[in-house]
């Protein structure tokens, strides 16, 4: 859907109702040139907020992977030493 800036100023509430009903982006034009897009909050969250959060999670996971150190000690042996002492 396309609307011009004057329509937005004159009937913003009506345009918001259409946006909510259709969940389709609304292109706002000024002088017949597209200058902005109005999207629903749901669309914004799905495309931008959730996407950014996913990127952050992936970055943290990647840092953990890079920071991982390979153990030089056998974990089973270490557990036995903790449980029974190192004299065995």
- Give residue-wise pLDDT tens across range 21-61: 998 999 999 999 999 999 999 888 888 888 888 888 888 88
Q: Give the span between the Cα atoms of 60 and 57, in whole angstroms.
A: 5
Q: What 3-state class would DSSP assign to 87?
A: coil
Max CA distance (Å), the chain:
86
Evaluate if residue 88 carries a pLDDT over 60.
no
Q: Which residues pair with 30 in a beta bridge?
A: 33
Q: Any residues with CB less than 8 A from the CB of 41 and at least 6 apart, and which?
A: none
């Amino acid at each position: 859907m396309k609307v011009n800036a004057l329509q937005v100023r004159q009937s913003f509430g009506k345009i918001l109702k259409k946006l909510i009903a259709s969940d389709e982006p609304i292109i706002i034009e000024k002088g017949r040139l597209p200058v902005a897009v109005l999207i629903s909050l749901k669309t914004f969250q799905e495309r931008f907020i959730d996407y950014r959060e996913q990127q952050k999670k992936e970055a943290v996971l990647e840092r953990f992977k890079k920071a991982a150190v390979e153990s030089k000690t056998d974990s089973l042996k270490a557990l036995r030493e903790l449980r029974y002492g190192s004299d065995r």
